Amino acid sequence: MLVLPSVSRVKKVLPGVKITLACERRNEQAAIMSGAFDEIMAYDANPIRFLWRLWRRRYDAVVDSEQFHYASALFCLISGAMVRIGFKITPARNECYTHLIDYPMDLSEVQVFDKLVEPLIGTAAAPLEIVGFLDRSKFPLHDRIKDKLHKVGWPDRPVIAVFPHAAIREKQWGNSKFLELIHALTEKMDYSVVLIGGSDGYKTAQTLLAGSNPARVTSIVGETSFADTAGLLAVCKAYVGTDTGSSHLAIALNVPSVVLFGPSDERKWGAKSDRHASVHVKIPCRPCSIFGYIKLCRTVDCMALISVDDVLNELNQVMKNSSKIT
């Protein structure tokens, strides 16, 4: 998701260019939904077929957005491209590239990715952002989802989308805190809540549903495509979630959002906007996530110390700012 602004800039500067994305299957839906790519190849769907296609195409240029993994660097070599661009991080990977790009730690990830395309199209006139990059009107609300929203009072009662799950332990906030948040939203603030996420979050969603008011809380966890989720987010009053792809999607759609950051750096993965807040605590050991790797931690205080009030305060502020803007 965060690479989309750079891809868009390449197409504007080089209007005849054809862009192929090589990605994992789990990112394929988001790539298709964006409409930014001429071709998408999931390398883990059929690795041998992928390598054969990569070698046969003989691309003019390959840009590797990975920072640490060796497989993507090898893909660059196999492509046969004369121009191979990658980050100057790991010496063993550096030999695979013709153009090495420094990885600046003080820039957002969107801006870092834009550094990768500078050898092809030059420096951007202004910093790139993911905020509002996607047009909400392009993602209709699925009838099945609409029916679920009607049952919890939408559109008469505004709906808050909540992503309560995280694939890794260090980014999890905990069911008890999400239940407290949902209770505050539905019983004290008169909102409805829809839980969103992939199938891996189904158990979490069922636990939260069991402890919530069924007239105010529903779930589409594990039931939708990425595009369907975008259609849902487009009609929501706001979004709350852990640091994940759905959070980037909400920000790209410019839905007022609050994202909980623990081990990862909100300066790199968050958004700088009055409509989007990054909730985090100031403790010496965070952020500890570097190039996708997180240090082992017994207490995960960076998530445990985030209070429900912290989240509610930020949520009220971004919705207030949104009302002023609109």
Question: Tens place of pLDDT for every residue, the chain, 326 residues?
Answer: 899 999 999 999 999 999 999 999 988 988 998 889 999 999 999 999 999 999 998 899 999 999 888 999 999 999 999 999 999 998 999 999 999 999 988 889 999 999 999 999 999 878 788 999 999 999 999 999 999 999 999 999 999 999 999 888 899 999 999 999 999 999 999 999 999 999 999 999 999 999 999 999 999 999 988 999 999 999 999 999 999 999 999 999 999 999 999 999 999 999 989 999 999 999 999 998 877 778 888 889 999 999 999 999 999 999 999 987 55
Is the domain of 302 the same as that of 170? yes
The last residue of one of the domains, among 120, 145, 172, is 120
Alpha-carbon torsion, ordered 139, 191, 256, 106, to 10 deg = -120
Q: Three-class SS string for the chain?
A: CCCHHHHHHHHHHCCCCCCEEEECHHHHHHHHHHCCCCEEEECCCCHHHHHHHHHHHCCCEEECCCCCCHHHHHHHHHHCCCEEEEECCCHHHHCCCCEEECCCCCCCHHHHHHHHCHHHHCCCCCCCCCCCCCCHHHCCCCHHHHHHHHHCCCCCCCEEEEECCCCCHHHCCCHHHHHHHHHHHHHHCCCEEEECCCHHHHHHHHHHHHCCCCCCEEECCCCCCHHHHHHHHCCCCEEEEECCHHHHHHHHCCCCEEEECCCCCHHHHCCCECCEEEECCCCCCCCCCECCECCCCCCCHHHHCCCHHHHHHHHHHHHHHHHHHC
The last residue of one of the domains, among 95, 120, 145, is 120
- Closest by CA to 203, choosing from 231, 232, 171, 167, is 167
Is the domain of 100 the same as that of 149? no
23: CATH: 3.40.50.2000
Is the domain of 158 the same as that of 106? no
What pLDDT does 196 receive? 97
Structurally, the chain folds into a number of domains equal to 2
Residue 209, domain extent: 136-325
User: Could you tell me if 2 and 130 are in contact, meaning their C-beta atoms sit under 8 angstroms apart?
Assistant: yes
Is the domain of 181 the same as that of 309? yes
Is the domain of 147 the same as that of 79? no
Q: Name the pairing type of β-strands 217-219 and 83-87.
A: unpaired
Asked, for residue 130, whether it belongs to a domain, the answer is: no
Global pTM reads: 0.92
Asked, for residue 128, whether it belongs to a domain, the answer is: no
Is the domain of 94 the same as that of 226? no
Is the domain of 159 the same as that of 112? no
